[in-house]
Amino acid sequence: MRKVDVKTGRSYSIYIEHGIISETGKYVREITKAVRAVIISDTNVAPLYAACVQDSLNEYGFETSVFVFEAGEERKRLSTVEQMYAFLAEHNITRGDIIVALGGGVTGDMAGFAAATWLRGISFVQIPTTLLSQVDSSVGGKTAVDLSYGKNLVGAFWQPSLVLIDPDTLTTLPDRFMRDGFGEVIKYGCIRSKALFERLADEDSPDLDEIIYECVSIKRDVVENDERDTGERAILNFGHTFGHALEKLYKYSGITHGEAVAAGALLLTEITERKGMTAPGTAEKLRSLLIKYGLPTETPYTLKDILPATSGDKKSSGHKLSFVFLRNIGDCFIYPVRISELEDFFNLMGKKSPVSKAVG
Ligand SMILES: NC(=O)c1ccc[n+]([C@@H]2O[C@H](COP(=O)([O-])OP(=O)(O)OC[C@H]3O[C@@H](n4cnc5c(N)ncnc54)[C@H](O)[C@@H]3O)[C@@H](O)[C@H]2O)c1
Ligand SMILES: [Zn+2]
């Protein structure tokens, strides 16, 4: 059993343990006197795990019900949340009751948003079942839904009261989503942990529990320093400005989020390395690791396509875009670039220096 405590506006614990979902009731009972618990899950996850979670909650005296929505990012919308509100109303869910989000990031973000807004806020528990949600979205209290104008445009900061991570749930996760999650895992290594990066690179099948624990610990540290995302939390965005642009260029199909972040991170690091801002050899190390985890190292798109597609990125503030550059593996810094100077900046940076031209 591994445990990570998070000290934010609301403090909570994250438990990582094989089979822990079958003990959900015990852990939830420790943090609430709620009479009712509503499990929110999607059409892929509910048939696999909802009964186990529900049985355990029943055992600890909760009156339970299950709300299931159709799986997929397309459903991460206000219309689905509205259906949740109707369900909560019909089941007389009061402010003392609790929501249990069981699923990937889509479920967690949306159930969290419903919890943040139902009766002006009720407690919720995260039981993430994808690698991405276990290492990233279940921790930190960002909840959201998408609009047709863009992803995650409507949301709230609303911390969970408990996070239960059961690595056994990953046994049913399709490979594509495992790879996707590894895109984010590698990101953590790049920005904060050379040791994690090296373990991923050196070991044949690194211990997944330990990897999840390390990623969650890094996210905890960053979120504790910057709960509302006004400073340091931006480092979690490494590879994401280009990654989001790539997702947009692919029209959100044919490339997953983690794949786009991977390709974006590598392109960015190649550029900053050429410019001398990143230690020599860093991009090559990143490239090898991405290949090892089946992540893309290139796309059909060049900076010419990518730069215009970065405008409107959520991480822009005023007229600047905040990039995250690597100084070295495990060491990063935030580098704001004026949007009006974006092309100059990257064109300039993209040019090989005469020396590197001479050698090859
Ligand atoms: N809140 C945050 O801080 C944060 C951070 C990163 C990403 N996100 C959000 O997370 C979302 C992506 O999360 P995701 O990749 O987990 O997507 P997801 O929730 O759609 O899950 C991916 C797919 O896997 C299925 N699935 C989930 N667990 C499974 C399991 N154990 N076995 C079999 N199938 C399973 C789901 O039904 C879905 O089809 C995006 O909407 C993104 O915006 C939020
Ligand atoms: Zn991401």
In the reported structure, the alpha carbon of residue 208 is separated from the centroid of ligand 1 by a whole-number distance in angstroms of 18
Which run of H or of E encompasses 335? strand 331-338
Per-residue pLDDT of the chain (360 residues; tens, 9 = 90+): 999 999 999 999 999 999 999 999 999 999 999 999 999 999 999 999 999 999 999 999 999 999 999 999 999 999 999 999 999 999 999 999 999 999 999 999 999 999 999 999 999 999 999 999 999 999 999 999 999 988 899 999 999 999 999 999 999 999 999 999 999 999 999 999 999 999 999 999 899 999 999 999 999 999 999 999 989 999 999 999 999 999 999 998 889 999 999 999 999 999 999 989 999 999 999 999 999 999 999 999 999 999 999 876 656 667 889 999 999 999 999 999 998 888 888 875 544 443 333 333
Q: How far apart are CA 97 and CA 237, in angstroms?
A: 34
Q: Whose CA is nearest to atom 41 of ligand 1?
A: 106
Q: How far apart are CA 38 and CA 247, in angstroms?
A: 33
Number of folded domains that form the chain: 2
Q: Can you read off the two tokens belonging to residue 183?
A: 């895109």
CATH of the domain at 203: 1.20.1090.10
Clarify whether residues 53 and 115 are in a common domain: yes
Q: Is the CB of 109 under 6 A from ligand 1?
A: yes
Nearest to 94 by CA among 34, 42, 154, 178: 34
Q: Domain range for residue 16?
A: 2-172
Q: How far apart are CA 320 and CA 346, in angstroms?
A: 14
Q: Is the CB of 42 under 6 A from ligand 1?
A: yes
pTM: 0.94
Q: Whose CA is nearest to atom 12 of ligand 1?
A: 105
Task: Specify the ligand 1 atom closest to the Cα of 131.
Answer: 16
Clarify whether residues 260 and 327 are in a common domain: yes
Ligand nearest to the CA of 45: 1
Ligand nearest to the CA of 229: 1
Clarify whether residues 152 and 196 are in a common domain: no
Clarify whether residues 251 and 336 are in a common domain: yes
Are β-strands 320-328 and 316-317 bridged in parallel, bridged antiparallel, or unpaired? antiparallel
Clarify whether residues 166 and 188 are in a common domain: no
CATH of the domain at 144: 3.40.50.1970
Q: Can you read off the two tokens belonging to residue 308?
A: 């215009």
Q: What is the DSSP string of 18-58?
A: TTGGGGHHHHHHHH---SEEEEEEETTTIIIIIHHHHHHHH
Clarify whether residues 187 and 145 are in a common domain: no
DSSP class of residue 137? I
Ligand nearest to the CA of 105: 1
Q: Is the CB of 244 under 6 A from ligand 1?
A: no
Q: How far apart are CA 209 and CA 328, in angstroms?
A: 26
* CA dist 284 → 52, 125, 260, 261, 280 (Å): 45, 40, 18, 16, 9
Nearest to 119 by CA among 36, 234, 202: 36
Q: How far apart are CA 157 and CA 139, in angstroms?
A: 11
Task: Specify the ligand 1 atom closest to the Cα of 258.
Answer: 15
In the reported structure, the alpha carbon of residue 21 is separated from the centroid of ligand 2 by a whole-number distance in angstroms of 25
